[in-house]
């Protein structure tokens, strides 16, 4: 099954949730937010969303810094 993550087509397993995907990819949930098919999600929702063919996911990273 193919999904698009940050504009790049990737393979993922059938029946995989967003939470599963994030674990497989090694993303720390404390450091990212997710947008799924145009909707920004609460972290509590990740485990309830099963990825489907052609889904679009944006992984948003938080960075500190400045002067």
Domains and CATH numbers, the chain: 2-61 (3.10.20.30)
Q: What is the pLDDT of residue 61?
A: 86
Q: What is the pTM of this model?
A: 0.86
Q: What is the pLDDT of residue 53?
A: 97
Q: What is the pLDDT of residue 62?
A: 76
The answer to whether 36 and 56 have CB atoms below 8 angstroms apart is: yes
Q: What is the pLDDT of residue 66?
A: 64
Q: What is the pLDDT of residue 39?
A: 97
Give pLDDT tens digits for 24-65. Answer: 999 988 889 999 999 999 999 999 999 999 999 999 987 776
């Amino acid at each position: 099954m193919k999904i698009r993550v940050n504009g790049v087509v990737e393979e993922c397993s059938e029946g995989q949730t967003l939470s599963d995907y994030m674990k497989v990819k090694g993303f720390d949930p404390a450091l990212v937010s997710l947008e799924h098919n145009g909707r920004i999600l609460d972290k509590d929702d990740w485990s309830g969303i099963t990825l489907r063919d052609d889904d679009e996911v944006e992984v948003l990273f938080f960075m500190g810094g400045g002067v």
